[in-house]
């Protein structure tokens, strides 16, 4: 029997059940704040604003008040799904500004390093509240302000991730002062107070989101950037506010799937992976965790999709190839290519001769991830919102302004979707990113909302396939072993909660398995809400990280 763990700790957690409303986030304090807003009569968008504010206060190893925010929102009054895309955006005409050196193990591990960008977080909060807000703005900021003032208890997961990324903030006095206030990181079990952030949030509550766009925090941000040599202006911060857009839609096995459209990668990537797997007849091969052939086909499909979505760019600058990537005829072509290139000879001996272990390569460092926080909310009126808030795309790399830490953005220009944040310094300033917000609709209404911050372009279609192709429950689908795309050297990073014959069978097909443990937190933490067959709501908080789902 698979053990379950309490909400708020790493490990598989039992789904929450409720009649009217549900919240799932990566931190219990965030879930509690959002749920309190719903109980007070707030809209799902109100709850999202409060959740994002708190998450950026208690999970600064993953997000902050200057990063990227994306969301899909289903409006029960209109039956419409809208997309919000508010990343940090590059300033056309300004050269990249990269004050933090490339350093292994940090956010700036990938050359050429992180670039300064205009923050997207608070403009997104402003749009959410102006469009759907019911409760006063100050009410939504207050839980975060209180936690910054009184402090929150540092968890083992928070400390672990902060410790692995601390070097990034050691290049600036503001970073050292913020993350090592007593000469060291706040330790597990200690209460971490952030008085400077509390003062900033008090100003935000009083003056509204403009405090970060053209108010005192914005002016301090510009002054810091100018002092460092980045010629950003106050006008830049307000030049490109986010707007509501149309998401990418496609169908799979009778379900309508709604995900993020270009320049986001996710919608086209998920459609391509699921479409190719369908044309490969994947259900006839058995499940990925039990069948070497199914794992082989999935690994190659993920690899091909990641190559192809590299062609996605800012639609204000480039034509959008999403229709090609989501075309069933193209999926059939790719499926035939993968099937027709399978080995006819047992390659297990090759794998044995070229690795120290018969079936597995040495444990690797997983490809660097930016890390983020997913949020899933359903309110009592039937409004659904699936969102992500992330430290990626946040302001000036390595700096802290008004208690708000920032990482900048990995805005290299690249066809390689491994470099999943790509931007152009002429044109619209939008960057290509990959965020996992996804809704699954039945008869025009959501029945499942999910997303994850971990290796999104690979893990979201796997979980969708587990649910829609193999009939798994959403929480069971999330807990199943996941993989990342097959490498160019025929190595496959994957979690090892699989049947024993899978690694050996993959070796016979020429693939070296790179074990990622039974689970790996870099593969994300799915935050999900879904409607059960009896009409009640369920909520799941992913097994790979902390989290809590709760409702009423």
Mean pLDDT of 189-197: 97
Q: How far is residue 449's CA from residue 441's CA, in Å, rounded to a whole number?
A: 9
Angle between helices 44-58 and 137-150 (to 10 degrees): 20
Find the helix packing angle between 121-132 and 44-58, rounded to 10°: 160
Structure tokens at 433: 């990113």
Token pair for 501: 């014959």
Residue 36 corresponds to which tokens in the numbers above?
A: 């309190």
The pLDDT value given to residue 279: 98
CB 69 within 8 A of CB 124: yes
* Residue 316 burial (10 A CB sphere; 0-12, 13-18, 19+): exposed
H-helix or E-strand containing 258? Answer: strand 255-259
Strands (E), 29-79: 68-75
Distance CA 524, CA 435 (A): 12
C-beta of residue 53 within 8 angstroms of C-beta of residue 65: yes
Grouping H, G, I as helix, E, B as strand and the rest as coil, residue 44 is helix
In 3-state terms, what secondary structure has residue 405?
A: strand
Q: Is 539 exposed, middle or buried (0-12, 13-18, 19+ CB in 10 A)?
A: buried
Nearest to 505, CA basis, from 346, 317, 395, 388: 346
Token pair 């970073």 is found at: 175
End-to-end CA distance of the chain: 28
Q: Per mean pLDDT, which range of 42-51, 268-277, 406-415 is the poorest?
A: 406-415
Report which of residues 163 and 428 the model is more confident about. 163
Among 232-236, 367-371, 390-394, where is mean pLDDT lowest?
367-371
* Contact (Cβ atoms closer than 8 angstroms) between residue 527 and residue 62: no
In this prediction, residue 254 carries a pLDDT of 95
What interhelical angle do 328-339 and 266-279 show, nearest 10? 60
pLDDT digits (tens, 9 = 90+) for 112-142: 888 999 999 999 999 999 999 999 999 999 9
Predicted confidence (pLDDT) at residue 428 exceeds the cutoff of 80: no
* % the chain with pLDDT above 90: 81
Question: 431 has which bridge partners?
Answer: 423
Contact yes or no for 378/537 (Cβ under 8 A): yes
Q: How far apart are CA 317 and CA 238, in angstroms?
A: 21
Cβ atoms 162, 185 nearer than 8 A: yes
Average pLDDT of every residue of the chain: 93
342/418: higher pLDDT = 342
Instruction: Give the pLDDT band of residue 9 (cuts 50, 70, 90).
Output: confident
pTM of the full predicted structure? 0.96
Per-residue pLDDT at 424 exceeds 90? no
Q: Which of 204, 214, 207, 313 lies closest to 268, judged by CA?
A: 313
Instruction: Residue 113: name the closest of 414, 410, 418, 433 by CA.
Output: 410
Q: What is the pLDDT of residue 96?
A: 92
Question: Which residue, among 268, 271, 267, has the nearest Cα to 253 in the 3D structure?
Answer: 271
pLDDT(454) > 60? yes
Q: Would you place residue 427 in the very low, low, confident or very high pLDDT band (cuts 50, 70, 90)?
A: confident
- Judged against a pLDDT cut of 60, whether residue 368 lies above it is answered with no
Q: Is 134 in contact with 42 (CB distance < 8 Å)? A: yes
**Interaxial angle between packed helices 456-468 and 266-279, expressed in degrees from 0 to 180 and rounded to the nearest 10:** 50
Residue 275 CA to its chain's centroid (Å): 22
Pairing of strands 248-252, 255-259: antiparallel
How far is C-alpha 379 from the geometric centre of its chain's CA atoms?
Answer: 22
Secondary structure class of 12 (helix, strand, coil): coil
Tokens encoding 192: 């971490």
Domains and CATH numbers, the chain: 21-244+367-413 (no CATH), 249-364+440-527 (1.10.246.130)
The C-alpha atoms of residue 334 and residue 353 are separated, in whole angstroms, by 31
């Amino acid at each position: 029997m698979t053990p379950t763990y309490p909400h708020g700790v790493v490990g598989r957690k039992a789904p929450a059940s409720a009649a009217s409303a549900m919240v799932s986030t990566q931190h219990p304090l965030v879930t509690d704040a959002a749920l309190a807003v719903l109980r007070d009569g707030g809209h799902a968008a109100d709850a999202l604003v409060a959740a994002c504010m708190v998450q950026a206060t208690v999970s600064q190893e993953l997000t902050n008040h200057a990063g990227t925010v994306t969301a899909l929102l289903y409006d029960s009054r209109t039956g419409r799904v809208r997309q919000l895309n508010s990343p940090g955006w590059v300033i056309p005409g300004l050269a990249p500004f990269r004050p933090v050196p490339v350093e292994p193990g940090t956010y700036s591990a990938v050359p050429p390093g992180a670039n300064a960008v205009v923050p997207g977080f608070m403009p997104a909060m402003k749009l959410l509240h102006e469009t759907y807000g019911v409760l006063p703005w100050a009410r939504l900021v207050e839980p975060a302000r209180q936690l910054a003032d009184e402090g929150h208890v540092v968890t083992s997961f928070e400390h672990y991730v902060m410790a692995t990324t601390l070097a990034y903030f050691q290049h600036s006095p503001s970073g050292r002062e913020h993350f090592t206030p007593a000469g060291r990181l706040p330790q597990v079990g200690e209460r971490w107070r952030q008085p400077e952030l509390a003062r900033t949030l008090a100003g935000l509550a009083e003056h509204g989101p403009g405090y970060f766009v053209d108010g005192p925090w914005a002016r301090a941000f510009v002054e810091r950037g100018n002092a460092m040599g980045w010629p950003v202006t106050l006008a830049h911060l307000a030049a490109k506010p986010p707007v509501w857009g149309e998401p990418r839609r496609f169908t799979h096995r009778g379900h309508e799937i709604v995900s993020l459209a270009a320049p986001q990668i996710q919608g086209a990537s998920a459609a391509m992976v699921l479409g190719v797997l369908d044309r490969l007849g994947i259900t006839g091969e058995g499940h990925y965790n039990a069948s070497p052939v199914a794992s082989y086909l999935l690994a190659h499909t993920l690899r091909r999709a990641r190559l192809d979505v590299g062609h996605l760019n800012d639609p204000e600058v480039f034509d959008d190839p999403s229709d090609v990537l989501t075309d069933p005829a193209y999926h059939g072509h790719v499926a035939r290519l993968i099937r027709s290139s399978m080995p006819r000879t047992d390659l297990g001996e090759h794998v044995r001769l070229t690795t120290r272990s018969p079936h597995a390569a040495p444990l690797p460092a997983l490809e660097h991830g930016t890390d983020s926080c997913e949020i899933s909310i359903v309110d009592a009126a039937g409004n659904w919102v699936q969102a992500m808030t992330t430290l990626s795309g946040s302001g000036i790399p390595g700096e802290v302004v008004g208690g708000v830490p920032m990482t900048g953005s990995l805005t290299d220009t690249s066809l390689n979707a491994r470099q999943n944040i790509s931007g152009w310094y002429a044109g619209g300033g939008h960057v290509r990113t990959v965020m996992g917000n996804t809704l699954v609709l039945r008869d025009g209404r959501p029945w499942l909302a999910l997303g994850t911050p971990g290796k999104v372009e690979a893990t979201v279609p796997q979980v969708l396939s587990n649910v829609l192709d193999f009939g798994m429950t959403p929480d069971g689908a999330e807990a199943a072993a996941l993989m990342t795309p097959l490498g160019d050297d025929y190595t496959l990073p994957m979690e090892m909660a699989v049947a024993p014959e899978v690694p050996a069978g993959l070796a016979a097909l020429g693939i070296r398995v790179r074990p990622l443990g039974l689970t790996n937190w870099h593969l994300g933490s799915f935050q999900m809400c879904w409607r059960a067959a009896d009409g009640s709501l369920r909520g799941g908080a992913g097994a790979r990280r902390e989290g809590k789902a709760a409702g009423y």
